[in-house]
């Protein structure tokens, strides 16, 4: 055992969760390589909860009379039942290949009831007596089984000892895996622009961040390779990075989606240089058909949709998880963008050795996601929809957001001055990344890019339009901006308001740049 801070001692990692326990036949693919050396000193100190461990005896022998657990009585929970009515997506067989806002079965809903005794009465496998009680740190096993099957169907992990564990959404998951993998002073790789809460989550852990420049396809693999190939420990004052965080699909804020070949090259570099990749991918199912600028109006409410679920899944760019044969990708999934943010539920998929550490973090932090949320999600996904109907919902959702994307892009074509404003139509997600020419600004050379951004931002506020300056998303805030950027989102705003906002922002840009 290695001394740690003079008083505590690091303990060896306990055995990883065995996701294949009880299997008769050998695993069809190899196990993950041993990457436990990436686990931080803080995470290594976390021990298995003795109280949670005691509950395992009841699982082995339900006849045991337990006076051990400090559980309140379900009979005294004041919530007697929860009823939910959910929309039913259009059946796969009903798709014509063109979506016209008809992704739901008109007037068709399904109602499910959760009570304290619905399992006892044979009406549900997950009732309120369980949902409202203390759960294991993995989250509800009944819901987790659905998520593992979904992950297998979509991503087909290429090693045997992968597992899933539930989280309180991707922000919670991100903060947990950062603490699990980062020691103070470590270098961490990420895109040059990142969700501000990502940087805020990293800051207390005191890593050193390296933002890799992005282009229209996301993180530039040539620059990533150059940094890793030519790392100088003496000049950098530290070891080569062992962790990379990325949002590969519909990246926030740039909207960029990394293509298959670039993903493969990034993964090859991860294997070569022993990197762990955190794949934060809440927009994965919002991958969209290409935007068409000419011909039929792209905002007339019709978009192409795949006729079958298999066609839809095949159209998706492979996830980093699906390329991973060594267990070095930790994938973060969330219901926030595909069901509702307020559920505060998501899940992590990765090698069992990492999932076991997340469980140790959950036991003294999150504990488990909200029982009410898990009960409702179980009713929705398991009892009302099932795996195939859930994919039907995702097909419908992608079509809805495609129409909204096309509305904002058409408005930008119409209202933003060409030659000054440029952008790449996003292939996924909820954001458009707008670049404005620095050289064409009348006071370039006298004002910095950040000063011009703020000038435009404040002029936009005066015009009653709020659009986010790109410099607010810099992974390395002290680094000078290489261009003027703004992030616009099209997800929640009605089409007429999107057009009005872009028109007003266009007026701000024209006025600031002094063009007609």
Helix (H) or strand (E) holding 218: strand 218-219
pLDDT bracket for residue 110 (50, 70, 90): confident
pLDDT in tens, 250-272: 999 999 999 999 999 999 999 99
Asked if pLDDT for residue 329 goes beyond 60, the answer is yes
Better pLDDT: 104 or 481: 481
Q: Do 431 and 253 meet the contact criterion of CB atoms below 8 Å apart?
A: yes
The per-residue b/e assignment along 158-176, b for 16 or more CB within 10 angstroms, e otherwise, is bbbbbbbbbbbbbbbbbbb
Q: Do 437 and 170 meet the contact criterion of CB atoms below 8 Å apart?
A: no
Token pair recorded at residue 298: 């792209």
pLDDT bracket for residue 516 (50, 70, 90): confident
Token pair recorded at residue 190: 């990420």
pLDDT value at position 14?
Answer: 45
Asked if pLDDT for residue 11 goes beyond 60, the answer is no
Distances (CA, A) of 458 to 331, 412, 443, 464: 38, 20, 17, 10
When pLDDT is averaged across residues 377-404 and rounded to a whole number, the result is 94
Q: Do 333 and 281 meet the contact criterion of CB atoms below 8 Å apart?
A: yes
Token pair recorded at residue 295: 């011909």
pLDDT bracket for residue 449 (50, 70, 90): very high
pLDDT value at position 300?
Answer: 61
pLDDT in tens, 192-243: 999 999 999 999 999 999 999 999 999 999 999 999 999 999 999 999 999 9
Q: Partners of 329 in the beta sheet? A: 277
Q: How far apart are CA 297 and CA 354, in angstroms?
A: 48
| Residue 213 CB coordination number (10 Å) | 13
pLDDT in tens, 425-436: 999 999 999 999
250 exposed, middle or buried (CB, 10 Å; 0-12, 13-18, 19+)? buried
pLDDT value at position 2?
Answer: 36
When pLDDT is averaged across residues 72-82 and rounded to a whole number, the result is 90
Q: Do 432 and 216 meet the contact criterion of CB atoms below 8 Å apart?
A: no
Asked if pLDDT for residue 19 goes beyond 80, the answer is no
Asked if pLDDT for residue 308 goes beyond 50, the answer is yes
DSSP 320-337: HHHH-SSS-EEEEEESTT
Asked if pLDDT for residue 492 goes beyond 80, the answer is yes
Q: Do 164 and 355 meet the contact criterion of CB atoms below 8 Å apart?
A: yes
Angle subtended at Cα 227 by Cα 226 and Cα 230, rounded to the nearest 5 degrees? 75
Q: Partners of 486 in the beta sheet? A: 434, 469
Helix (H) or strand (E) holding 105: strand 104-115
Distances (CA, A) of 89 to 60, 84, 158, 251, 396: 40, 16, 31, 27, 7
Q: Which residues, in sequence order, are CB contacts of 167 under 8 Å at separation 6+? A: 139, 173, 176, 332, 334, 345, 346, 347, 348, 358, 362, 366, 369
Asked if pLDDT for residue 373 goes beyond 80, the answer is yes
Domains within the chain, CATH numbers bracketed: 83-399 (3.40.640.10), 402-513 (3.90.1150.10)
Asked if pLDDT for residue 5 goes beyond 70, the answer is no
Percent of the chain with pLDDT over 70: 93
Q: How far apart are CA 375 and CA 223, in angstroms?
A: 46
pLDDT value at position 55?
Answer: 73
pLDDT bracket for residue 53 (50, 70, 90): confident
When pLDDT is averaged across residues 345-359 and rounded to a whole number, the result is 97
Asked if pLDDT for residue 71 goes beyond 90, the answer is no
| Residue 295 CB coordination number (10 Å) | 6
pLDDT in tens, 144-164: 999 999 999 999 999 999 999
Mean pLDDT of the chain: 90
Q: How far apart are CA 427 and CA 315, in angstroms?
A: 12
Pairing of strands 104-115, 81-89: antiparallel
pLDDT value at position 175?
Answer: 96
Asked if pLDDT for residue 313 goes beyond 80, the answer is yes
Tell me if residue 257 falls in helix, strand or coil: coil
Residue 253: cis peptide before it, omega within 30 degrees of 0: yes
Q: Do 403 and 299 meet the contact criterion of CB atoms below 8 Å apart?
A: yes
């Amino acid at each position: 055992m290695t001394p740690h801070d003079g008083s505590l001692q690091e303990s060896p990692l306990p055995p990883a969760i065995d996701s294949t326990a009880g299997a008769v036949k050998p695993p069809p693919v190899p196990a993950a390589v041993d990457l436990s050396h990436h686990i931080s000193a803080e995470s290594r100190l976390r021990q298995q909860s003795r109280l949670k461990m005691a509950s395992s005896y009841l699982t082995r022998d339900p006849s045991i009379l337990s006076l051990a657990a400090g559980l309140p009585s379900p009979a005294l929970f004041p919530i007697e039942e929860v009823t939910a009515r959910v929309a039913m997506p259009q059946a796969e067989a009903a798709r014509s290949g063109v979506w016209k806002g008809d992704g739901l079965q008109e007037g068709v809903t399904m109602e499910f009831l959760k009570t304290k005794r619905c399992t006892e009465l044979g009406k549900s496998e997950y009732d309120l007596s369980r949902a409202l009680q203390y759960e294991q740190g993995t989250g509800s096993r009944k819901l987790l089984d659905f998520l593992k099957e979904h992950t297998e169907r979509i991503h087909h992990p290429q090693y045997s000892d992968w597992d899933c564990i539930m989280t309180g959404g991707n922000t919670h998951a991100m903060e947990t895996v950062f603490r699990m993998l980062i020691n103070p002073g470590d270098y961490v790789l990420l895109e040059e622009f990142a969700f501000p809460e990502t940087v805020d989550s990293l800051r207390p852990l005191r890593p050193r961040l390296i933002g890799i420049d992005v282009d229209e396809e996301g993180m530039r693999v040539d620059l990533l390779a150059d940094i890793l190939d030519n790392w100088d420990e003496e000049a950098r004052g530290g070891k080569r990075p062992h962790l990379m965080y990325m949002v590969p699909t519909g990246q926030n804020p740039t909207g960029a989606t990394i293509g298959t070949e670039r993903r493969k090259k990034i993964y090859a570099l991860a294997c070569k240089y022993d990197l762990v990749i955190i794949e934060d991918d809440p927009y994965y199912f919002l991958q969209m058909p290409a935007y068409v600028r000419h011909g039929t109006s792209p905002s007339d409410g019709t978009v192409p949709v795949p006729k079958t679920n298999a066609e839809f899944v095949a159209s998706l760019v492979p996830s980093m998880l699906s390329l991973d044969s060594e267990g070095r990708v930790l994938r973060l999934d969330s219901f926030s963008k595909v069901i509702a943010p307020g559920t505060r539920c998501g899940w992590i998929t990765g090698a069992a050795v990492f999932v076991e550490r997340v469980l140790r973090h959950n036991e003294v932090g999150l504990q488990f996601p909200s029982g009410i949320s898990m009960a409702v999600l179980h009713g929705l996904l398991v009892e009302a929809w099932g795996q195939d109907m859930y994919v039907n919902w995702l097909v419908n959702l992608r079509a809805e957001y495609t129409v909204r994307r096309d509305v904002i892009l058409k408005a930008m074509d119409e209202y933003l001055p060409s030659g000054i404003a440029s952008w790449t139509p996003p292939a996924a997600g909820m954001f458009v990344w707008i670049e404005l020419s620095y050289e064409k600004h009348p006071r370039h050379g006298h004002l910095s890019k950040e000063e011009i951004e703020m000038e435009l931002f404040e002029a936009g506020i005066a015009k009653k339009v709020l659009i986010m300056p790109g410099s607010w998303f810099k992974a390395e805030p002290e680094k000078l901006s290489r261009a003027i950027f703004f992030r616009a989102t099209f997800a929640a705003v009605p089409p007429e308001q999107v057009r009005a906002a872009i028109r007003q922002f266009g007026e701000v840009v024209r006025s600031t740049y002094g063009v007609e």
